[in-house]
């Protein structure tokens, strides 16, 4: 079997659509169909069932798919080990993070030390980061702990507390703190339920016998703060993000009784090769995001 054919096969298993798979691979649909048929002839078995417009992976196809993933994982580790011979002068680190605001200081300090290493950071939910690590699409994650998976190792960093953000004209703008129960009737703009920040909020409110029905749900923290600045709604977000807010017309109020909080930590695969670049970045994260570190990101207003 040729690796090229296996790559086509894996992409087809993931897309289950010949047009989308061929576009992703950069080849024509007839070429993809021909290569899949050639692989089926070579294995002497049907790998896909075509039912109308639907494509379904057969039992044999699923078996081959699992072996292919292991093959490509091994090849990826071999390539990483070879790159390792070149030291920290070159390389790439793929990061998933529950909030990219947490990465600004670590990325700046790491880039100054290792300017030749490329950093690709994606703002993802904790579950999306976990799956990205398991699928070998990410090298390291900065997420809310715990994260399930025997293949994953976690390193706690600090406890993230959520706080209320309101407009400077809001009645609570001058408060030193606010009990969670007092927020039940406020118009809220929140992250969607897939985000652990939102799940922390929902669990905390349930202990008080209510649940927010947000007026708006948005996936970016900056967008939520824009709504707060316009006094359209209030929001609840991580304190490490809110302390660096540049808006002059937003006030931050700590939440008590209870304070929604959870440990933030590093997570990575323990059953795969970890490059020197990734190990160096993990050490940098531990230094710059350690417990009690309240340094703002470069250029941020406190």
Mean pLDDT score, 205-216: 95
Q: How many CB atoms lie within 10 A of CB 50?
A: 11
pLDDT of residue 300: 35
Q: Report whether CATH 1.10.10.10 matches the domain 3-81.
A: yes
Question: Which residues pair with residue 215 across a beta bridge?
Answer: none
Residue 299: which pLDDT band, with cuts at 50, 70 and 90? Answer: very low
Q: Which token pair is 151?
A: 């293949």
- Give residues with Cβ within 8 angstroms of 140, minimum separation 6: 93, 94, 95, 96, 133, 266, 267, 268, 278, 281, 282, 285
Query: What integer is the mean pLDDT of 87-105?
Result: 82
Mean pLDDT of the chain: 88
Write the pLDDT tens digit of every residue in 117-132: 899 999 888 899 999 9
5 has a pLDDT exceeding 90:
no
Which pLDDT does position 220 carry in this prediction?
87
Domain residue ranges of the chain, discontinuous segments joined by +: 3-81, 88-156+265-288, 158-262
- The predicted-structure confidence for 229-252, as pLDDT tens digits, reads as follows 999 999 999 998 888 776 778 999
Domain 158-262 fold is D-Maltodextrin-Binding Protein; domain 2 (3.40.190)
Q: Is a pLDDT exceeding 50 seen at residue 195?
A: yes
pLDDT at 87: 60
- Identical fold between 88-156+265-288 and 158-262: yes
What are 49-77's pLDDT values in tens digits?
A: 988 778 999 999 999 999 999 888 888 87
Q: Are 143 and 97 in contact (CB under 8 A)?
A: yes
pLDDT band at 86 (very low <50, low <70, confident <90, very high): low
pLDDT of residue 85: 54
* pTM, to two decimals: 0.63
What is the rounded CA–CA span in Å between residue 63 and residue 300? 51
Percent of the chain scored above 90 by pLDDT? Answer: 61
Q: For residue 298, what pLDDT is reported?
A: 39
| Cα→Cα distances 55→3, 26, 102, 126, 294, Å | 22, 20, 41, 31, 52
What's the mean pLDDT in 266-278? 89
pLDDT in the model for residue 84? 61
DSSP E strands in the chain: the ranges are 48-51, 54-57, 91-97, 117-123, 140-144, 152-167, 178-179, 189-190, 216-217, 235-238, 250-256, 261-269
Is residue 294 very low, low, confident or very high in pLDDT (cuts 50, 70, 90)?
A: very low
255-283 in b/e form (b: 16+ CB < 10 A) is beeebbbbebbbbbbeebebbbbbebbbe
Contact 221, 241 (CB under 8 A): yes
Residue 41 has pLDDT above 80, yes or no: yes
Domain 88-156+265-288 grouped into CATH 3.40.30.10: no
299 versus 81: the higher-pLDDT residue is 81
| pLDDT attached to residue 194 | 87
């Amino acid at each position: 079997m040729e690796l090229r054919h296996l790559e086509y096969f894996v992409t087809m298993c993931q897309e289950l659509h010949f047009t989308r798979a061929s576009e992703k691979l950069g080849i024509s649909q007839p070429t993809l169909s021909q290569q899949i048929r050639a692989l089926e002839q070579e294995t002497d078995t049907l790998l896909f069932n075509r039912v109308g417009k639907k494509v379904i992976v057969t039992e044999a196809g699923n078996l081959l798919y699992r072996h292919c993933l292991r093959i490509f994982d091994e090849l990826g580790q071999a390539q990483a080990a070879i790159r390792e011979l070149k030291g920290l002068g070159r390389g790439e680190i793929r990061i998933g993070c529950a909030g990219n605001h947490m990465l600004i200081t670590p990325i700046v300090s790491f880039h100054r030390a290792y300017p030749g290493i490329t950093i690709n950071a994606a703002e993802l939910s904790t579950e999306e980061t976990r799956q990205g690590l398991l699928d070998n699409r990410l090298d390291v994650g900065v997420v809310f702990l715990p994260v399930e998976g025997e293949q994953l190792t976690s390193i706690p960093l600090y406890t993230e507390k959520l706080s209320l953000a309101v407009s400077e004209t809001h009645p609570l703008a001058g408060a030193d703190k606010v009990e969670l129960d007092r927020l039940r009737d406020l118009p809220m703009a929140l992250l969607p339920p897939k985000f652990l920040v939102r799940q922390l909020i929902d669990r905390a409110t349930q202990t008080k016998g209510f649940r927010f029905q947000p007026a708006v749900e948005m996936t970016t923290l900056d967008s939520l703060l824009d709504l707060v600045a316009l006094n359209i709604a209030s929001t609840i977000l991580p304190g490490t993000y809110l302390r660096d807010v540049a808006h002059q017309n937003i006030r931050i109020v700590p939440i008590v009784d209870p304070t929604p909080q959870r440990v933030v930590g590093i997570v990575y695969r323990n059953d795969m090769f970890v490059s020197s670049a990734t190990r160096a970045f993990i050490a940098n994260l531990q230094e710059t995001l350690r417990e009690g570190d309240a340094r703002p990101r470069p250029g941020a207003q406190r």
